[in-house]
Amino acid sequence: MKNSILYELPQDLKAFSKKAFLKQILPLAVAELVVWLVFGFFGKDVFPPDRFGSGFPLLYRGFGILFPIIILVKPKKLFDRTFFGRVERVDVKTVSAFERKFKPSLEGHYYRNEVTLLIRTDEGRRVRKKVYSERAKIDGNYDFFKEGDRVFHLYGSPVVVRLPQSGSDLQFCPVCGGKNGAFSGGVCSCCGHTLIGGLQEPNSTDS
3-class secondary structure per residue, 37-87: HHHHHHHHHHCCHHHHCCHHHHHHHHHHHHHHHHHHCCHHHHCCEEEEEEE
The whole-angstrom separation of Cα 127 and Cα 119 is 5
Residue 62's pLDDT is 73
The whole-angstrom separation of Cα 19 and Cα 23 is 6
How confident is the prediction for the chain on average, in pLDDT? 79
pLDDT above 50 for 202: no
Phi, psi of 29 (to 5 degrees): -65, -40
Amino acid at 64: G
Counting residues of the chain whose pLDDT is more than 90, the rounded percentage is 33
pLDDT (average), residues 8-21: 91
pLDDT (average), residues 76-94: 90
Query: Residue 162 belongs to what H/E stretch?
Result: strand 160-162
Dihedral angle of Cα 5, 2, 172, 167, to the nearest 10 degrees: 20
175 within 8 A of 189, measured Cβ to Cβ: no
Residues in the chain: 207
Residue 59's pLDDT is 67
Counting residues of the chain whose pLDDT is more than 70, the rounded percentage is 72
